[in-house]
Amino acid sequence: MTFLTDNLLVDGVRLAYRDRGAGDPVVLLHGTPSHSGEWRDVAPRIEAAGHRTLAYDLLGYGLSERPAHRDTSVAAQTELLGSLLDEMGLDKVDLVAHDIGGAVGQRFALARPERVRRLMLVDTVSYDSWPSATWRRIIDERMDEYAGLSQEEFEALLTRQLAMTVETEGLMAGEVLDAYLAPHRSALGRASFFEHQVRHYDATYTEEIADRLGELTMPVRILWGEHDRWQPVGYAERLSRDIPRAELVVVPGAGHFVMEDAPQRVAREILDFLAVPVRQA
């Protein structure tokens, strides 16, 4: 089943997206190395419960455009999120944001708090939590060399990384693994992965807002896989201390891609969170 259904031109670039359901809009932001297909088992449940749900591939990711000379950093993705909401006529949304999408969500909620009704952070990057030692070494020392890997070598590298994102034995294999590898099964896809994703694994984008997290006044829920090997749960606990009234929910038996390990639980948590009353301005 194809998850994304449409394309939209936003600020001169093409974004692939899915917009289904009715009611107050919920925006799902994906992580890396990933795309919005990670929400495929969650979004339909949110839609069926009576919520308009918007998911899209970040610029340079998945089925969205991979422009050769366009900034795809966290800061640029944050600005593009605002432009996307403008283009779709959405003044205020609930944000559910995973991994690097969580950095976008944090920055957007701080920059445009009047546009964020509620914020859920799912196994998000934060503070100095990223990139991992493996990716830091690639970025600092061998980016050009890795960008020139053969398809076989590249898929082996990415498969090893993706295997670390889930706890369920045998889950990151077959059709699931193929879906994560699919956007990169070409020379353009491999180059784009390093240029549009890995090159922007930079904790500066979260470290520079760390002392402002106390400014967040909307309801915030932090959802985390207990066994996240990329973003240890200690960072979730730190976020819950620094964000006023934030609620922390840890999902047992789940890893970094908690929506893969426990999609029904993630959907229930999102729906429960969407029922939290919002203080009127």
Q: Is the pLDDT of residue 34 over 80?
A: yes
Q: pTM for this structure?
A: 0.96
Confidence of residue 1 (pLDDT cuts 50, 70, 90): very low
The count of other CB atoms within 10 Å of the CB of residue 159 is 14
| Domain 6-274 grouped into CATH 3.40.50.1820 | yes
Share of the chain above pLDDT 70, in %: 99
pLDDT at 280: 65
Prior bond to 263 cis, omega within 30? no
Q: 131: which 2 tokens?
A: 């990139």
Confidence of residue 36 (pLDDT cuts 50, 70, 90): very high
Average pLDDT estimate for 9-21 = 97
What is the edge-to-edge ordering of all strands in the sheet holding 25-29?
6-10, 13-20, 52-56, 25-29, 93-98, 116-122, 220-225, 247-251
Q: Is the pLDDT of residue 48 over 50?
A: yes
| Averaged pLDDT score across all residues of the chain | 95
Q: What is the pLDDT of residues 80-117, one digit of tens each?
A: 999 999 999 999 999 999 999 999 999 999 999 999 99
- Around 95, how many Cα atoms within 13 Å sit in the side-chain half-sphere? 35
Confidence of residue 148 (pLDDT cuts 50, 70, 90): confident
Average pLDDT estimate for 162-188 = 95
pLDDT at 68: 85
